Amino acid sequence: MNKDANTSPTTTTARHVPRHRPRHHATVAKGFVDGMLSGLYRLQHDPRPLLAASGISLAESASRIPVKRYAVLYNRIIAELGDEAFGLFPQPMPLGSFEFLCRGMLGAHTLDEALARASRFLRIVLPDLALSVRRNGNRAELEIAETSARFGDPADPARVFAFEWLLRLIHGVACWFVGRGIALDSVRFPYPRPAHADDYALVYTEHSSFEGDTLLARFRDNLLELPIRRDDAALGRFLEDAPGRISMLYRRDREMVLRVRDLLRAALPTNLSIDDVARHIHLSTRTLHRRLEEEGSSFRRIKEATRRDIAYARLTKTAQPIAELAADLGYADTSTFYRAFVAWSGMSPEQFRAQLAARHDGSGTRAAPMDGR
């Protein structure tokens, strides 16, 4: 049986795998929130009331934001600004644009036609970005390009978020209309690699590259022929809590990723190998590997993301000893956990806690007693 390099040795021939399907709590990196707040800062709006009303604190540099709260903040910002493009561009995107975008796509016969309609509509309400879709061999290419030099710095968080947001919106809507996930084979982003790029494997694809001239997302061209499967009644339900709801649906084509992640989390401190997980879900190891690859991820990356999220949460909210935390996460020894944590955050667990303590000094905030996973 293949073992992860960071996996503790086992003394039994069978692993405990939970039989129930645990509840998944999806999170996003703080960088996605920082970008979404950029328009507020540009317009000199104080974001603190909106963050507080959404139950979000950005005090910790390594904060992970629950997707549900992110969706709430998404809707609060556009309501506050009256702009569905978050105040990022000179021309606001009027409230109701998302609904009309969806209603325009609804009457299409195929995804190809629906995306063409979306492109024409966005020229009206979002003239600073141009969306186009074309075929190139056996691949479809979805391109998002700037029509003007709105942002001076290619790495401006507002510019980064603008591309992240529009791709996520169009991709999420497309998946919903055809009733299935559309796996992105690769995405080239037109900016330097951001600090939160590790999350791109779950949001977009593991095959992400940077420093392109435009955003270019590739997927199989036969997916353009998928029929539109939604009707007006379904759209009415979909539009409830929209457009923020899109941010909760961006992992819809990651069902296997989420299933694997839930199994790994629930089994801790036992380390499950890919063979263990494959047996539990009645797939061959090769098939599981292929399914994860099709969804733009890998077993190792999912395992690391699961451990990282738990480590950040425990260090932020509890006073749990480092050695105990390392054992809970299934590391063979504390030094292995230290190396992993430095790779994630650029600092040791003690430095991470000291940084939090310095920020909270005098606020009366203290680490809570250790909670469960």
Note whether 65 and 205 are same-domain residues. yes
Residue 331: closest CA among 5, 8, 2, 50: 8
CA 19, CA 256: separation in Å to the nearest integer?
Answer: 16
Residue 144: closest CA among 125, 121, 119: 119
- First-to-last CA distance in the chain? 27
SS3 content of the chain, % helix, strand, coil (to 5): 50, 10, 40
pLDDT score of 75 more than 90: yes
| Residues found in the chain | 373
> Residue 360: its pLDDT value, please?
62
> Which of 231, 249, 267 finishes a domain?
249
Phi-psi sector, 128: left (phi>0), alpha (psi -120 to 50), beta: alpha
CA 200 centroid distance within chain = 6
CB burial readout 150-165, b (16+ within 10 A) else e = ebeeeebbbbbbbbbb
Place of tokens 């056996």: 138
In a domain, 37, yes or no: yes
pLDDT tens per residue, range 313-371: 899 888 999 999 999 999 999 999 999 999 988 899 999 888 877 766 655 444 443 43
CA 220, CA 213: separation in Å to the nearest integer?
Answer: 22
pLDDT score of 2 more than 80: no
pLDDT confidence band for 295 (50 / 70 / 90): low
> Residue 59: its pLDDT value, please?
77
Place of tokens 């469960």: 372
Lowest mean pLDDT among 12-26, 40-54, 285-299: 12-26
pLDDT tens per residue, range 263-289: 999 999 999 999 999 999 888 999 898
In a domain, 371, yes or no: no
> Residue 305: its pLDDT value, please?
87
> Residue 7: its pLDDT value, please?
40
- Total domains present in the chain: 2
Q: Which two tokens stand for residue 36?
A: 């979404």
Note whether 209 and 227 are same-domain residues. yes
pLDDT greater at residue 113 or residue 247: 113
pLDDT greater at residue 130 or residue 252: 130
Note whether 99 and 214 are same-domain residues. yes
In a domain, 240, yes or no: yes
pLDDT confidence band for 13 (50 / 70 / 90): very low
CA 118, CA 102: separation in Å to the nearest integer?
Answer: 8
In a domain, 369, yes or no: no
In a domain, 13, yes or no: no
Note whether 237 and 294 are same-domain residues. no
Preceding peptide of 49 cis, ω within 30°: no
Note whether 55 and 81 are same-domain residues. yes
pTM exceeds 0.75, yes or no: no
In a domain, 287, yes or no: yes
pLDDT greater at residue 181 or residue 47: 47
Please state the rounded mean pLDDT for residues 212-230: 95
In a domain, 168, yes or no: yes
Note whether 234 and 279 are same-domain residues. no
> Which of 211, 226, 249 finishes a domain?
249
- The CATH number of the domain holding residue 318 is 1.10.10.60
Range of the domain at 343: 253-360
Please state the rounded mean pLDDT for residues 122-128: 97
Note whether 192 and 262 are same-domain residues. no
Note whether 316 and 176 are same-domain residues. no
In terms of DSSP bridges, do strands 186-188 and 208-209 run parallel, antiparallel, or are they unpaired? Answer: parallel
Note whether 322 and 213 are same-domain residues. no
pLDDT score of 209 more than 80: yes
Note whether 244 and 288 are same-domain residues. no
pLDDT score of 151 more than 60: yes
Note whether 86 and 213 are same-domain residues. yes
> Which of 213, 234, 249 finishes a domain?
249
> Residue 294: its pLDDT value, please?
64
In a domain, 155, yes or no: yes
Note whether 355 and 268 are same-domain residues. yes
